[in-house]
Structure 1
Amino acid sequence: MTDYDLTARLPGPAGTSVPLLAVVDERLKTTSICFALAHGSRDDPEGRGGIAHLLEHLVMSCPLGGDGPAVSFSEYVERRGGQANALTGLEVMLYYAQMHADDAEDVAAALLRAVFEPALDSHTLDRERAVVLQELAAAAADPSDVVQDAVLAGLFPGHPLGRPVGGEPGQLAAVTAQELTAVHRDRFVRAPGALVVVGPRVPRVLAEAAVHEAGQPADPLPRVPPAAKGAEDPLPDPGEANFTWLCFGARSPRADVAGRAAYGVLAHLLGSSPSSLLYRTLRSEHGLSYSFHAWDRGYRESGAWRLLIGTEASAAGRVRTLVDELLTGVAGQGPAPDDFDAALRQAEMSLVLESETPLEYAKLIAERTCSTGRVWSLEDEIAELRRVGVDDVRRAAAHVRRELLLTVRSVAS
């Protein structure tokens, strides 16, 4: 097995290159491909929030060009027994598929056609816009989704990182096929990217001509420093709500800063594992919540550390106090050695587990490479985690507690 092999750098027309990264394991019967582009919702034109997400839908749903039946990329892959999907984030888009290795050549060629030559016609746009609006309506009805958008809006008011990934329904309704074509041509296909293959061999079509359409990235958006955080939401009135979602957030270091791994360890220290401080306090000792999760993400100018907790409205104040007490304790004395060791092991094992699932590994490599602008490897990430010390986590907790913002969304009685 070649654990991490930089097999080629494929030239673009303007002299740039897109890395083709391969993990070759001849024991595998499947091939997983992920193409990541450094383009996301933050790149949406002013007044047209959601274009990136809408473009993602169209790439996966437009009829493929070339010979053969006029089916979408998603259907093309699934008819061969594989799976395909895509994801739009704040700064990165992922297009990925897993198929039998015997079908990898055809699927890889279809993926390139879908990404670089989508048929962005008005009919397909109207159809997929209706689907996206349904998706947004479902998200708007889910307080656990809404509260996460709210915490980013509070942490980054007036900044592209604070805009919802899915966009605004009113703005999406005004998007034209011409606008989508311009975004695709001028920014989407010119964004830096990474193409990752995990399988028994690298499809020839990728090694020889994979991303010849990719070129120089468009002029980058100004890196405006995030504004001061917004006002914290009030806790719910138990007489007006049954259940409440609390999302705690704080700014963390940007993606390319060394040492930000301490914030990931802090997320595991207050995560959903039974070994975490939060689990033992919130669930085992007080029985206040069944559903909670902590995570950290780094972006170009800043990062965002978040903690999402679902609880009965009457318990929201107690939950808020316990979170503050836990962060205060970690920030003051630091985590106990055994708790620190458990969080560190959780952080490392979460990466190892993803690496042992081929499709998830392909997505992980592509997303991290695209986010940081440098080739990512599992070994490097684990080495960085192992350099994190108790004092690093203590300082991270002190920063999070100082910056902490709470957003609240409730289910009415």
Structure 2
Amino acid sequence: MAGPVPVISLIDERLNTTTVCLASRYGAQQDPKGQCGLAHVLEHALMSTPVGDVPSLSEHVERLGGHANAETGLDRMLFYAQVHPDDAADVTGLLYRAVLQPQWDAGVLEQEKRAVFQELAVAAADHSDVVQDMFLAHLFPGHPLGRPVGGTRADVGRFDTASVAAAHQRRLLTAPLSVVVVGPALPKTVDPLAAGLDPQTLAAIGTVSGALPAAPPQGPAEAVRWPEEFTWVCAGARSVSNHDPRRPHFNMLAQLLGSSPSSLLYRRLRGEAGLAYTFQAWNRGYADTGAWRVLAGVEPGNGEAALDVIRAVLDEIAVRGPGPEDLASARRQARMQILTCVDSPLECARLLAMRSGGFDSWTPADEVAFIDAVCADDVRRAAAEVRDGLRAVVSPVAP
């Protein structure tokens, strides 16, 4: 559909539910200095404030037997609902109104700020969460990409209706927005004008790109201070943007060092060395750059040895490339991840929103083709970049 809210759809008449996802290119990296967590609080408020005659979008959808949720990332926000097809037109209209024409309620905002405080407390108690925030802060020093998505308690505590409404008006409403639909048919209200949206509101969508300054050069990697207790280590390097043709190369490298028993790192780190029980690897592309990382939990005294194994595996791939059997296995694993998401309508909608950004012609079939095109030399070059830029942080940190 042409217009300010393009539609990306996957229509299958055999489906028994309809999932609708609004995808915005406004994310936490656009929070102003001193307002860390503003996008996150806005997301909470929009899902919980009254919409027309219903107390909130979330409650209304759940009372219909469906599921509604939202999430904030560094470079995007997603608002979605999965409902019976008979309810899809009504819920799509409510979703538009909740996100684009909210009814601000100071009481609801204070309630949601308390919920965010609880989220922050849970995250602060989970060192596997803490270490990821530390890693991004170290990877992108002084840059918005290095700030925690959830915010800080001090900044969140200062937000009021005026500041949240201003973020909505100046940032969310002016950022590019799309709608993703996975279901048996397109709801008629997928057209925001048919949903009763104000044309002036729609005219503002996509008028501001929200471009950020380039990430600054990195300083030297710091020595790790290992604590005398179980700790989480996050090791990795900058990669490439979400739309860089090399993104699948870094994704495949993550598959080769992932938590599957078929991965090279699993065999070396867990099987042969017995240094880590739980770990994972992944690559995340943003608008202008990316982050590749391994996260592992290690016992006291095992940290440096585990990090040495990670370095050795990266170096092996960087020098010789992955073996044919390992590459074929990683390729099958990567394909299966895409196909598994496609088989779940809600996960498929999220995948379409996050991979394509909701603004181009990317499809799951395209991603499978990208995966199949990755060769050993592509992965070798990606491994060399990660090896050469590798840095690691841990949580907790030795005093």
Shorter-chain TM-score: which interval?
A: over 0.9
The AA in structure 1 aligned to 2:83 is M
Distance 1:162 1:321, change over 3 A: same
Aligned equivalents of 2:82, 2:282: Cα separation in 1: 27
The residue matched to 2:5 in structure 1 has which SS? strand
Offset, 1:221: 4.0
Among 97, 105, 120, the alignment partner of 1:121 is: 105
Alignment of 1:316 with 2:317, yes or no, is no
Q: Please, what TM-score do these two structures have when normalized by structure 2?
A: 0.94
**Structure 1 stretches lacking a partner, 5+ long:** 1-7, 12-16
**Post-superposition CA distance 1:6-26 (Å, at most 9, x none):** xx23x2xxxxx2211221111
**Post-superposition CA distance 1:184-242 (Å, at most 9, x none):** 112102211221111111111114635654334354445322122355454454xx532
Alignment of 1:364 with 2:351, yes or no, is yes
* Matching residue of 1:64: 51
Distance 1:165 1:218, change over 3 A: farther
Aligned equivalents of 2:120, 2:398: Cα separation in 1: 20
* Matching residue of 1:403: 389
**Post-superposition CA distance 1:122-170 (Å, at most 9, x none):** 2221111111011111101111001000110011001111111011111
Detail structure 1 runs of 4+ shifted over 6 Å in the superposition: none
The residue matched to 1:313 in structure 2 has which SS? coil
* Matching residue of 1:4: none
Alignment of 1:326 with 2:313, yes or no, is yes
Offset, 1:412: 8.5
Alignment of 1:47 with 2:34, yes or no, is yes
* Matching residue of 1:109: 93
* Matching residue of 1:266: 253
Contact 1:334 1:391 in 2 (8 A): yes
* Matching residue of 2:328: 341
Contact 1:246 1:308 in 2 (8 A): yes
Contact 2:175 2:208 in 1 (8 A): no
Aligned equivalents of 2:178, 2:275: Cα separation in 1: 43
The residue matched to 1:242 in structure 2 has which SS? coil
* Matching residue of 2:122: 138
Distance 1:241 1:124, change over 3 A: same
Contact 1:236 1:316 in 2 (8 A): no
The residue matched to 1:314 in structure 2 has which SS? coil
Alignment of 1:228 with 2:217, yes or no, is yes
The AA in structure 1 aligned to 2:167 is V
The residue matched to 1:118 in structure 2 has which SS? coil
Among 166, 170, 178, the alignment partner of 2:150 is: 166
Among 332, 339, 343, the alignment partner of 1:352 is: 339
Among 370, 374, 378, the alignment partner of 2:364 is: 378
Contact 2:176 2:207 in 1 (8 A): no
Contact 2:46 2:99 in 1 (8 A): yes
* Matching residue of 2:135: 151
Aligned equivalents of 1:266, 1:78: Cα separation in 2: 39
Contact 2:67 2:81 in 1 (8 A): yes
Aligned equivalents of 1:329, 1:317: Cα separation in 2: 18
The residue matched to 1:253 in structure 2 has which SS? coil
* Matching residue of 1:3: none
The AA in structure 2 aligned to 1:59 is L
The residue matched to 2:301 in structure 1 has which SS? helix
**Matching of residues 205-284 of structure 1 within 5 Å:** 205-207=189-191, 209=194, 213-214=201-202, 215-230=204-219, 232=221, 234-237=223-226, 240-284=227-271
* Matching residue of 2:82: 98
**Post-superposition CA distance 1:28-47 (Å, at most 9, x none):** 11111111000000111221
The residue matched to 1:326 in structure 2 has which SS? helix
Aligned equivalents of 1:86, 1:230: Cα separation in 2: 35
**Structure 2 stretches lacking a partner, 5+ long:** none
Aligned equivalents of 1:269, 1:101: Cα separation in 2: 40
Offset, 1:367: 1.8
The AA in structure 1 aligned to 2:362 is W
Among 181, 188, 191, the alignment partner of 1:204 is: 188
The residue matched to 2:292 in structure 1 has which SS? strand
Aligned equivalents of 2:177, 2:97: Cα separation in 1: 16
Q: Please, what TM-score do these two structures have when normalized by structure 1?
A: 0.91
* Matching residue of 2:176: 192
Aligned equivalents of 1:314, 1:294: Cα separation in 2: 22
Aligned equivalents of 2:152, 2:221: Cα separation in 1: 23
Identity %: 46
* Matching residue of 1:14: none
The residue matched to 1:304 in structure 2 has which SS? strand
The residue matched to 2:341 in structure 1 has which SS? helix
* Matching residue of 2:59: 75
Among 10, 13, 18, the alignment partner of 2:5 is: 18
Contact 2:175 2:210 in 1 (8 A): no
Aligned equivalents of 2:24, 2:205: Cα separation in 1: 12
The residue matched to 1:150 in structure 2 has which SS? helix
